[in-house]
Amino acid sequence: MYQYTQDQRLKTADEFSSVFLFRKTRYTPYFKIHFKPNDIGCSRLGLIVSKKIHKRAVKRNYMKRLIRELFRHDCVSWNNYDVIVRVQKCFTADNYLEISNEFKDLSKKLLK
């Protein structure tokens, strides 16, 4: 079924910087997404949730878990991209539906 494995993560600073240097971005109220096509056969995800968004690590980790889960369910539609998701605004479980729809819309924008 759907999995989120180690192969689907951006891990090193070089992998992150190569995506940033490609300079392709999409914005939404909650996210800023940097992306770059890759040749490895699967999409990879990197996450950035800074302390400016929320000072509590528990809240930042919740945001990361939610984004990973949304990516895991929708990773097939990302079409072999390296993707870095930067959270722009704090969200909670109350905003789940809005966040989910926004993330799906971003995947559709990347396909264009």
Q: Where residue 31 sits, what CATH number does that domain have?
A: 3.30.230.10
Instruction: Please indicate, yes or no, if residue 107 is contained in any of the structural domains.
Output: yes
b/e burial code for range 49-74 (CB count within 10 A of at least 16 → b): beeebbeeeeebebbeebbbebbeeb
Judge whether 51 lies within some domain.
yes
3-class DSSP state of 105: helix
Question: Interior CA angle at 43 toward 88 and 58, to 5°?
Answer: 40
Asked if the structure places residue 26 within a domain, the reply is: yes
Please report whether residue 1 resides in a domain: no
Q: Residue 68 CA to chain centroid, in angstroms? A: 7
**Per the structure, how many domains does the chain have?**
1
Q: Return per-residue pLDDT of the chain as tens, 112 residues.
A: 466 677 788 889 998 899 999 988 988 899 999 999 988 888 889 999 999 999 999 999 999 999 989 888 876 677 788 999 999 999 999 999 999 999 888 888 776 6
| Segments forming the whole domain that contains residue 81 | 6-111
